[in-house]
Structure 1
Amino acid sequence: MLGAFLAGAAAGYAIAIPVGAIATYLVLLGARHGWKVASAGGLGVATVDGMYAAVALVLGAVLAPAIATVQTPLTWISVAVLVVVGLALMRPAFRREPARAAGEDVRGITPLRAYVVVLGLTVINPATVVYFTALVAGASFGAIDTAAERTAFVVGAFAASASWQLFVAGAGASLGRVMTGPRGQRVTALVGGSVVVALAVRTALGA
């Protein structure tokens, strides 16, 4: 069972560590709204990673060809959402009124709202779906066949993803403490939004 847990942890870190739009969004949440809000968003990512790990273990071989048929439209949906998120992140950079202090709830962003929003963004991220399905559809995890081992794999994937997302949230919150002034917050908003839009463009070019 320990082997299954470690395999799940390895899978969770492999999908969580590469820097993408979700990680950028978590950093911006931490910088603008503090660790509590960003960590809630990070747990939304980990929830989806654990859920997809569970589904892939049970239906991986069946889902792999089905996902391949809808990967293109799913990718374009992801592109559209990333563009919207990127523009929303950049909007505070062009406001005339001074930015608020980092961590202050300026737009009603609560931990619950951050959790739901980031969870939704992760659900439609095609990379997450395809990664876990391809991972389990292969021969690498054929030995994971008991309920206890499957549970251990999913727990490992969730724990690894959660630990990394909380680290990213903390990094964003630390950035917010450094750049507490109006100019610093405008910079983080502009840079973060631009990165998300650039990731959307890269996703579209690879579709």
Structure 2
Amino acid sequence: MTAALLAGVLAGYGIAIPVGAVGTYLVSLTARTTLRTGVCAALGVATADGLYALAATLGGPALAAALRPVLGPLRWVCVLVLLALAAWGAAGAVRRYRHHRLATHAGAAPVSPARAYLALLGITLLNPTTVIYFAALVLGSQTGDAAGSGERVVFVAAAFAASASWQVLLAGGGALLGRMLTGHRGRLVTALVASGVMTALALRMAVAPV
């Protein structure tokens, strides 16, 4: 059980700590909305990580073999999603700045916690980095076939908890950033920087080999 717990914690933090496009969007979203919305979004990311950890423990090498053919299409879907989010975020920030509004969306209702959860869950499930990470985990460990049901449960729970703790920490940082940058110009700069980072990561993902 201890080995499964440690393996799950390491797996969860291993995929969560590198702050890529998903983490950047999470921080930006929380800065523009509320801590509650950010926490729900963070749990959406952690849920996706937990689902992949569960699949890794149950699927074994067969799952990894099945994932290989779709890694390329998933990468392009993720590139398009990231570019759309970057453009949407930048355009919304410019509109809000021009109209001098502090609402999270110009002329629209704020993002609800449930919507934030589902959005980040979907984005993370389509993230090729997550797919590749857990596919490698399946191929490089005996977590799936050799472990009993108890060890599997502990591994998945530990991976989810580790990922959730880090994502919630990022959301807290986004909430603090939002309180610091309460002016129109500060929110515009924050949104444009986040959009720029997401665009750069999407372009880098597009040209990187699978």
Q: TM-score scaled to structure 2, two decimals?
A: 0.92
Is the aligned partner of 1:173 residue 2:175? yes
1:123 Cα deviation after fit: 0.7
Unaligned runs of at least 5 residues, structure 1: none
Aligned residue in 1 for 2:120: 118
Name the amino acid aligned to 2:164.
A
**Do the aligned residues in 1 keep the contact of 2:12 with 2:162 (CA within 8 Å)?**
yes
SS of the counterpart of 1:99?
A: coil
Give matches, 1:92-171, under 5 Å.
92-95=92-95, 96-100=98-102, 107-139=109-141, 141=143, 145-171=147-173
Distance change in 2, residues 1:107/1:188 (3 Å): farther
Aligned residue in 2 for 1:64: 64
Q: Which whole-Å deviations, capped at 9, do the CAs of 1:6-41 have from their partners, x for residues lacking one?
A: 110100000000011110011011111021111100
Deviates more, 1:107-116 or 1:153-162: 107-116
Aligned residue in 2 for 1:81: 81
In 2: Cα distance, 1:130 partner to 1:99 partner: 41
Unaligned runs of at least 5 residues, structure 2: none
SS of the counterpart of 1:108?
A: coil
1:137 Cα deviation after fit: 2.0
SS of the counterpart of 2:141?
A: coil
Name the amino acid aligned to 1:189.
A
Distance change in 2, residues 1:73/1:143 (3 Å): closer
Q: Which whole-Å deviations, capped at 9, do the CAs of 1:154-182 have from their partners, x for residues lacking one?
A: 00000000000000000000000000010
1:142 Cα deviation after fit: 6.7
Deviates more, 1:8-17 or 1:59-68: 59-68
Q: TM-score scaled to structure 1, two decimals?
A: 0.94
SS of the counterpart of 1:145?
A: coil
Aligned residue in 1 for 2:18: 18
Distance change in 2, residues 1:10/1:144 (3 Å): farther
Aligned residue in 2 for 1:35: 35
Name the amino acid aligned to 2:37.
V
In 1: Cα distance, 2:92 partner to 2:56 partner: 39
Q: Which whole-Å deviations, capped at 9, do the CAs of 1:79-123 have from their partners, x for residues lacking one?
A: 011100111111133212013068xx9643011010000001001
Name the amino acid aligned to 1:9.
V
Name the amino acid aligned to 2:3.
G
In 2: Cα distance, 1:200 partner to 1:150 partner: 34
Aligned residue in 2 for 1:200: 202
Q: Percent of counterpart pairs with the same letter?
A: 49
Name the amino acid aligned to 1:66.
A
Q: Which whole-Å deviations, capped at 9, do the CAs of 1:119-166 have from their partners, x for residues lacking one?
A: 010010111112112112223547851100000000000000000000
**Do the aligned residues in 2 keep the contact of 1:8 with 1:155 (CA within 8 Å)?**
yes
The RMSD of aligned alpha carbons is 2.0
